[in-house]
Chains A and B, each alone.
Chain A
């Protein structure tokens, strides 16, 4: 076997496969890490890794090998992963893909990345994303686009990996790392996972600490794993989850062994299909994928039940009030005083000019748009008409789900996205609202605070991956992962993108 083949094979391992091989001593973490680093070196065309940290990676890999040699190492020990640029990592650039945080070197480590580090996992670098996680195509990043490793059959158009966790999705799909962290405010883990044929889990709001994660919309943001398989998601999630006194919204609940809950047995479970997700103009391929997914779960012994979530239609408009409102408040901290970019001032400029010029230079157009929309909906006279009304609609959206679960539904099956990955630049001229529609199936889950997982189950006519989403009861990610595992096993999706980069 040539060195190159070996390195590709190692980087293509799943987390579960690598863990087992590490524990048996068949491979070392240093070997795995070097394999990933060499894949990353050859993959600049994907724009996935935007800050590479090979020294940190090799140092942690050596430490992991020592720990493994002593036995009793946790499952993530020695596993090379990528970290989304939204997570603050000590001494390593963390700029939320924004110009305004250029040069910022955090003096601290986010709780989630610290937990992964303490479990022995190896950080390979920071991953591209939409600026401040605002976007669905990774085109708002200051680093430039992340590119999908998948292409349409016989067509070399560059496609989006989705967003906002586009770099994470691209890196995992292209075997640059074994898993990656993502964050999801309206669909930012699940939509890119679907666009790149990988698995992405958005946990229940409060399951993973938000401390040290650059805030976008605090009542919606949640970190989660992006991996090659459902089992890997269960393993990585177990290392990320748990109570953190530094995040007041973090839930003080025990973290079960999610992997042990993957029995694949879903006999007698009730899977709901919400009729409101059958959108006008939905591509036939998506409709077919969804029906096939329901058949797979039925064949596995689940009961498929039609359900209604009547307020679904209002989820996106409610989201586009709440998320910008929270963003305008969260992003007020970027003022050129304590960290990041400060504009060069003209003679006589005072502090107001400093704020205004700094923020005009530091924020890209989509971030500026959302901050200003948020400012407007929170401004005197409009607060009740927009913001409070949206929060009430949000309560109704959550009630729809509560009622479905009370009626005995265990999980809900929907498409993840309304289409397969689209071309980079294809939506540039479109109205921002057209881009927002990417989140139509995922955003309800954030508003209700529920766990949701995207699982690849098929391809479209042009060979691009498509995914289905399962939505679970709050705090029951273990059950949800098990349903996803059953779906994954039945779908048997094993396609990989052909290497062109």
Chain B
């Protein structure tokens, strides 16, 4: 499996990380090195093996479905790069 420049561009886009065109060939090469390393996993016979989910089988805790937290709008917004009128503010989303 070899990653070309177009795939690297697509992955960067999916990850929402801006990568300049002139960096794409290096990025593709790095992906190839890492994926080459990962390819070893194909040697393992995993027929009939269930993917691991937890260290010891544990039933998730349950609790009553009720509000236990909230009412702290200022604290939620305290670290926002841009907050206005009690909301997070972002650039235009819909044309």
Contacts and interface: CB of A to CB of B under 8 A. Distances in A.
Interface in B29-74: 30-31, 33-35, 37-44, 46, 49-52, 54-56, 58, 60-61, 63, 72
B81 A340 contact: yes
A341 interface: yes
B79 A356 contact: no
A146 to B, nearest CB: 25
Contact of A352 (B16, B27, B33): B16
A71 B12 CA distance: 58
Contacts of A248: 60-61
Contacts of A52: none
Contact of B79 (A332, A339, A375, A396): A339
Interface residues on chain B, size class: 35 or more
A252 interface: yes
Contacts of A284: none
Given A105-B78, A391-B51, A431 B41 contact: no
B49 A338 contact: no
A372 B55 contact: no
A353 B60 CA distance: 39
Contacts of A450: 55
Interface residues of A, dominant DSSP = helix
B91 A392 contact: no
Interface string B79-94: 1111000001011110
A474 to B, nearest CB: 6
A185 to B, nearest CB: 15
Nearest to B27: A372
Contacts of A350: 91-93
Interface in A241-255: 245, 248-249, 251-252
A314 B40 contact: yes
Given A394-B52, A395-B49, A372 B12 contact: yes
Nearest to A433: B37
A311 B16 contact: no
A449 B55 contact: yes
Most buried by A among B15, B40, B56: B15
B79 A371 contact: no
Contact of A474 (B19, B50, B55, B61): B55
A395 B72 CA distance: 42
A122 to B, nearest CB: 26
Instruction: Rank and list the top 8 A-B pairs by shortest CB-CB distance, nearest first.
Output: A449-B55, A391-B51, A339-B79, A342-B81, A356-B18, A395-B52, A392-B46, A360-B18
Interface of A: 103-105, 107, 204-206, 245, 248-249, 251-252, 311, 313-314, 316-318, 320-321, 328, 332, 335-342, 345, 349-357, 359-360, 363, 368-369, 371-377, 379, 386, 388-396, 398, 431-433, 436, 447-450, 474-475
13 contacts: A248-B60, A317-B37, A321-B38, A341-B81, A342-B82, A354-B90, A356-B17, A357-B18, A360-B19, A368-B17, A390-B38, A474-B55, A474-B56
